[in-house]
Amino acid sequence: MEPKRLRIGSRESLLAVAQTELVIRQLKEHYPDLSVELVTMKTTGDKILHKTLDKIGGKGLFVKELDQALLDGRIDMAVHSMKDLPMEISPDLPIAAVPKRGDPRDVLVLPGKEDRENREQVIGSSSLRRVLQAKELFPDAKFQSVRGNIHTRLNKLDQGQYSALIMAAAGLKRAGLQDRISRYLSVEEMLPAAGQGTLCIQVRKDFDQSFFSCIHDRQTELVTLAERSFVRTLDGGCSSPIAAYGTVLGKGLCLTGLFYDEAEKIYRKQSVKGSLEDAKELGCCLAKQMKSES
């Protein structure tokens, strides 16, 4: 029996709400009579802004309050950015659907309407994955951590605290801030985080997951599965300098992984191709191969 009303949980940031409203619109296209209550909350990751994520437990801190709300029955589903989820998903809170992926790329954002890059700029990014790769693109730049929601970071940029920011294209577009993008960084220039640009719906295990099949994208699910399998096999959390990006080639999948060698302080990239249906195994095999060669 289809639910007539859903309580949908989201982080309270404007971006998180915009992403949740995107999912709500998709659901209402298929269920026009569906009544929705949006329940927002501030997570631990939103509250602790004076430390980098790797110092406070990783991006899993952006979902734990929503997880508890699901378990307590205060909400029926939660909408997350896939890259915010910990690598191990509780069987009590399965992923019910993965909508079609948005733009996976990273972008460079400059202050105001400035349209040229300053080679001696101070670039803001709290992601070691981004910083490692950006050092090759901008060898003369300095890098500093920047925390806060999307608007807070942009305000810090415009106030002169940074010369540029590296951010996710999908987030800026979903927040209606695509005009702030100064330069798109190709996936060859900067390999994205596993699941970047992808949203997911999480529910309790007793919820009828078939309700969400109308907005589920199987290809996105499998590509994300390969990317997350790569990271998980390397024991990397969401804050680790590890990246993975998959592209669909017919019935095949090309997966590229980035692995950071702590001993040598360098990162390596490597790709592998295989069957799309073997996505999880493909990610695992690439990770083991790269680890054995380090």
Residue 106 β-bridge partners: 168, 185
Q: Which residues are catalytic?
A: 84
Question: Tokens for 89?
Answer: 């998903």
Alpha helix (H) ranges present in the chain? Answer: 14-30, 44-47, 53-56, 64-72, 128-137, 150-158, 169-174, 218-233, 279-292
Q: Are 236 and 252 in contact (CB under 8 A)?
A: no
- Classify each residue of 146-176 as buried b or exposed e, where b means 16 or more C-beta atoms within 10 Å of its C-beta: bbebbeebbebbeeeebbbbbbbbbbbbbbe
Shortest CA distance to 174 belongs to which of 151, 147, 193?
151
Q: Are 83 and 141 in contact (CB under 8 A)?
A: no
